[in-house]
Amino acid sequence: MKFWTVLQEPLFQAVLVENGNIIKRIPEIPPNTPVRRVGCIAKYKDKLIIGKRNSLEIWDFDGKELLQTLYSPLIYGLHEINQYQDDIIICCTTIDGIFRLDLEGNVKWKWFAHQHGFCPDTKLLDDPNWQTIQLTQSISPPNSSHINSCRVHGDTVIASLMYNKTAIEIKIGEQGYTKLIELPESHGLHGTIRVNNELCYATMDRIVLGKKVIDYNYATNEGYLWVKRIVEHDDKIFFSHESGISYVFKNKKDKVYDIPLPRPFGIVF
């Protein structure tokens, strides 16, 4: 089994994993400079996209050659990247937005959570010093929605608004939305997707894969903490968490298989 993932803080690297072993790292040494830190990854056609502080890098899928870099003032707090037709759809938690960009960085669609009453407007994009702030400061706005995922399904996006404890579905190019889940008693939602017409999602200490529910047992340390990304691939459902990447078979979810890794975020095949 071979896939890409991102190792979160303190490593901030994209890594290629084969049979449980890391065989390539981008960058090779964990970066100290914030602008060089890797935040998330995705696949675009037959290429790899690496998301950084204010940019997207397009690499050949083996990670041998950097082909293109795309900059945008909307890339900040980047949490997920998707291919949509010939474009890219991203979500950025700090400015609570979902955006469609072409490969030149032109904006073709914007959806902001504050425009729908989910959170206040951060007004960060209005700051005349935004380019400097974007490159040099790490900001966590109060009362944020913290959009931590935006998975493309056909012509819609399923987005998880973590602090609103809500998942919604938005038709790409439009502003309306449909509420899919609301869990007022939870810490918040992560990584909501749809698999075989069933919703899969996670909270801080629970993962729901359709009808299968896995709770974290704090007394025995059994289970999976902070599941942040869920991915369907072939006959399996994968999920990344604090101590690795795990998966179940879609037609037989009774057994979970684990691949230990240090704080992986996302899975790309």
- Domain-wise residue ranges, the chain: 183-269
For residues 99 and 56, what is the distance between their CA atoms, to the nearest angstrom? 13
Give the residue from 148, 131, 155 showing the smallest Cα distance to 204.
148
What are the tens digits of pLDDT across the range 113-138?
999 999 999 999 999 999 999 999 98
The pTM score is 0.95
Average pLDDT, the chain: 95
How many other β-carbons are positioned within 10 Å of the β-carbon of residue 9? 9
% pLDDT > 90, the chain: 89
Strands 47-51 and 40-44: antiparallel
For residues 162 and 151, what is the distance between their CA atoms, to the nearest angstrom? 14
pLDDT above 90: residue 239: yes
Mean pLDDT of the region 12-19 = 97
- Predicted pLDDT at 185: 83
> Which H or E run includes 26?
strand 21-26
What are the tens digits of pLDDT across the range 99-112?
999 999 999 999 99
Cα 157 off chain centre by: 13
Strands (E), 129-176: 147-153, 156-161, 166-171
Contact (CB, 8 A) for 5 and 267:
yes
How many other β-carbons are positioned within 10 Å of the β-carbon of residue 252? 8
Give the residue from 87, 93, 62 showing the smallest Cα distance to 75.
93
Question: Where does the pLDDT of residue 256 fall: very low under 50, low under 70, confident under 90, or very high at 90 and above?
Answer: very high
Q: Cis peptide before 120, with omega less than 30 degrees from 0?
A: no
For residues 156 and 173, what is the distance between their CA atoms, to the nearest angstrom? 9
For 184, residues 6+ apart whose C-beta sits below 8 A from its C-beta are 165
Question: Where does the pLDDT of residue 32 fall: very low under 50, low under 70, confident under 90, or very high at 90 and above?
Answer: confident
% pLDDT > 70, the chain: 100
What are the tens digits of pLDDT across the range 182-233?
999 888 899 999 999 999 999 989 999 998 999 998 888 888 999 999 999 9
Please say whether the dihedral angle defined by the alpha carbons of residues 183, 184, 189 and 193, taken in this order, is positive or negative. Answer: positive
- Predicted pLDDT at 89: 98
What are the tens digits of pLDDT across the range 48-98?
999 999 999 999 999 999 999 999 999 999 999 999 999 999 999 999 999
pLDDT above 90: residue 142: no
Edge-to-edge order in the sheet of strand 78-84: 78-84, 87-92, 97-101, 107-112
Cα separation values, 72 from 89, 112, 125, 153, Å: 13, 16, 11, 24
